[in-house]
A and B are shown apart, each in its own frame.
Chain A
Amino acid sequence: MKMKKILVVDDSKVITDLVKLMLEKSGYGCIAVNSANECVQLLKKEKFDLVLLDIAMPGVSGLDVLDEIKNDERQKGTRVVLFTASSPTETELEGYMGKGAVGLIRKPVKKEALIAQLEKYLAS
């Protein structure tokens, strides 16, 4: 089976390093970037199975990136999972799903739980 490619986007390098480590140890191909711009640039060149996207980033937020991905025809098969330390309300959550995110993972997260949720979203 082909290795799944995941793009991790978070302004904190500490976090992207950790997540990258967790994913690679679990057998995923993973690239981490630390800004929305880098993410957008990278997406123009490469295709990923899933983007794990931090919401609260300085400058361009994760939600803007989500909009861009969803408006881009070439990124049709790319699943976006939001990644956040805040606890969105039900209403906010519904808004995110409406924008086209397939799911949301709350920080902090246990490795086991992270992998389980990503597998679930990749299978969807």
Chain B
Amino acid sequence: MKLSSKILLITSAVVGIAIINISVLAYFNDLRQADTTTAELANKQIFYVQKIREHSLLVAGGEFENRKKVLEFVDSYQTSSNLLNSGGFVNDSRVNSIDHLSPDLNEKILNTWKEYMPNALVVAEENVFNLNVLDARDHVVQNSDVLFSKVKKASNRLETFAGDLSDVNRSDLPNYEEIGFEHVAVSKAMETLGPRLLTFTLEVTGQPAERFGAVKQAELASELSRLVTRFSSYLDIMLQGGVSDITGNYARPLPVEFQAEWMEVKETWTPLKEKLLVVSNEGIRTKPFQNSLDFIESNTDPLIGLHLDLISLLRADNASKNIFANQIFYVLAIASGSVFVNVALIIRSSLSPINRMMDASRRIQRGEYGIQVEHKSEDEVGSLVKSFNLMSSAMKEKIEQSKEIEKAKDEFLAMITHELKTPLVPIQGYSELLLDGTLGQLTEEQKEKIRIMYQSSLSLSQLIQDLLDVRRLELGQMKFDKCDVNAEEIINDAIGIMAPSAEKVGVRLKAHTQKPIKITCDPDRIVQVLTNLIKNSIRFVPEQKGIIEVRVKEDGNEALFSVKDNGIGIPKDRQEGLFKKFYQVDTSSHRKSEGSGLGLAICKGIVEGHGGKIYVESDAGKGATFYFTLPLK
């Protein structure tokens, strides 16, 4: 697969997993949001019911402005109930349907509400107060004072009279003592009963209703009716006689002369009693209202209980959804992680051949030609590796070929020198024997020609030797047998060797040495350098007038040799290639002197092999000076 396709694939995988991650997160976020909204709504229903009860009680207490509130909360409850049962949206937030949680519970709630709601509507719309009761109350409130004062007056008279009886101890009224005490106790009780009747009346009809509740008011009403009965029975004792519940004794009616005040009391009491009974029997509120209020009172808490059950079911459901969501998140995290790991592995495996190629390149630099890099992929990197391997193999092949060529060259050179030298042995040997008279006397002319043959054979052996030397210097095969010698001796040896050829063409060789200079070198090879340089100069100086001066001096930590001539010189543009093998300054066919073109290359090889350097200074027509340096001892 192509690298670009891989990148596309990887990118798609990463983008895909990202989109899946985002969608799943968004989905669960939405789900959680919906759960939260649903739970809030379910909790609010409890709040609505509580509010309906609260405001109903306020209505019952006469605060009619709360009727509107009751209706509002009924409406709110109904709306939320619809949402929770069929699903929907609150402020763009989704509400889940809860009818699946527990159909039984849901139905119970709906049925309860079906009864609860009409009662709430009754509370909000029906007349609250019983008008009869209100009239009766007003009567009681208006006439109580009259009753109290009449009772007080009658009671005071009775007390005064009873006191008189005890002080005087009158024999004409033998029964009064006993009667007096009973009646005084009853009248005292009636004095305190009066205000209590008023208090109870006010409380039974009073507000606020929530302070007492329906039950409490009913208790108050029956207490009021008991008080009325007691008051009536006390009044009966005064006027007709009867058993007092205070002492438990029978009391006779008051004497007639004492009944007048109590008749007064009865006159007020009789209509008052009727009103008090209306209050105690009928209750302050209208029947329909009271019934609905009672229903709300007794059904609010059970309804709330049902809602609490529903909320706990909802919570459990949400918790299980959360667990499921967490599981999905784990799966998602693992899937994402594995995608990223795979992406990383693909990238690594695509790029690892590059690292291996870099490593292989370094090894090739060190000479491990032909090394191959492993590759499997078929992408661009794979093709690159293939090319690299081909290149490496080709390099190995070329290197081996060139090594073989070098080896063949060496063998050829060794063979050729051997084969060239062998025929020279008799040519040179017999020439020599002919010249020295071993084989009989020759004429001068014959000798002269044989000398030419002899010299030519010497030149030929020298040329062969030079070829070998150049090759060995190139390969670094030439070994230098170094020792400490005097520079002067080396110069003298070289001049000694070259003197005969110089003399022959009338060239003067001069050695200039000042003080002894000790150098470390292979003396034979340095003599070879000097003789080559001198030989070179001889070829380019004018016959009979040529002067070649050989010098040596200390120059820093080196010995500086020079060979100076007064020859034709070397043009600047020809100096650069001077030390290359087979190089000829003058390539014209009629050049004055012939050389192999190897001499200077050999000199350079030997000098550099000693750690020195060789160079020339010359101007065309003004002679040339060759310099070379060697390390001092």
Contact = CB atoms under 8 A, between A and B. Distances in A.
B414 A86 contact: yes
B428 A108 contact: yes
B414 A22 contact: no
B337 interface: no
A25 B436 CA distance: 11
A89 interface: yes
A109 B461 CA distance: 10
A30 B433 CA distance: 17
Interface string B383-421: 000000000000000000000000000000010011101
Interface string A12-27: 1011001101100100
A78 to B, nearest CB: 24
A89 B432 contact: no
A108 B438 contact: no
Nearest to A94: B479
Residue with the greatest number of chain B CB neighbours at <10 A, chosen from A22, A89, A107, A108:
A108
Interface in B170-225: none
A15 B433 contact: no
B477 interface: yes
Contact of B429 (A85, A87, A91, A111): A111
A108 B430 contact: no
A110 to B, nearest CB: 6
Contacts of B465: 87
A13 B91 CA distance: 127
A22 B433 CA distance: 8
A108 B477 contact: no
Interface string B518-543: 00000000000000000000000000
Given A86-B414, A89-B477, A110-B428, A12 B422 contact: yes
Nearest to B460: A108
Interface residues of A, number: 21
A89 B417 CA distance: 13
B433 A107 contact: no
A22 B429 contact: yes
B425 interface: yes
A90 interface: yes
B426 A87 contact: no
A63 interface: no
A15 B426 contact: yes
Interface string B452-463: 000001000100
Residue with the greatest number of chain A CB neighbours at <10 A, chosen from B418, B425, B432, B478:
B425
Contact of B418 (A21, A25, A85, A89): A85
Given A15-B425, A85-B421, A111 B477 contact: no
B432 A111 contact: yes
Interface in A96-120: 107-111
A31 interface: no
Contact of A25 (B421, B430, B438, B457): B438
B425 A18 contact: yes
B418 A56 contact: yes
Contacts of A87: 417, 465, 468
Interface string A68-94: 000000000000000011110111000
B425 A107 contact: yes
Contacts of B426: 14-15, 18
B472 interface: yes
A111 B436 contact: yes
Residue with the greatest number of chain B CB neighbours at <10 A, chosen from A22, A85, A86, A109:
A85
Nearest to A106: B421
A85 B422 contact: yes
Contacts of A111: 429, 432-433, 436
A110 B432 contact: yes
B568 interface: no
B607 interface: no
A111 B478 CA distance: 27
A85 B425 contact: yes
Interface in A28-65: 56
A85 B427 CA distance: 14
A108 B417 contact: no
Contacts of A18: 425-426, 429-430, 433
Contacts of B433: 18, 21-22, 25, 111
B282 to A, nearest CB: 146
Nearest to A17: B426
B424 interface: yes
Nearest to A21: B433
Interface in B464-489: 465, 468, 472, 477-479
12 contacts: A14-B425, A14-B426, A18-B425, A22-B429, A22-B433, A56-B418, A85-B419, A86-B414, A90-B479, A108-B425, A108-B428, A110-B428
Leading 10 A-B pairs by shortest Cβ distance: A85-B421, A90-B479, A108-B428, A86-B418, A108-B425, A18-B429, A108-B424, A85-B422, A107-B425, A85-B418
Given A108-B425, A111-B436, 9 more contacts: A18-B430, A25-B438, A56-B418, A84-B418, A87-B465, A89-B472, A107-B424, A108-B427, A109-B425
Interface of B: 414, 417-419, 421-422, 424-430, 432-433, 436, 438, 457, 461, 465, 468, 472, 477-479
Interface of A: 12, 14-15, 18-19, 21-22, 25, 56, 84-87, 89-91, 107-111
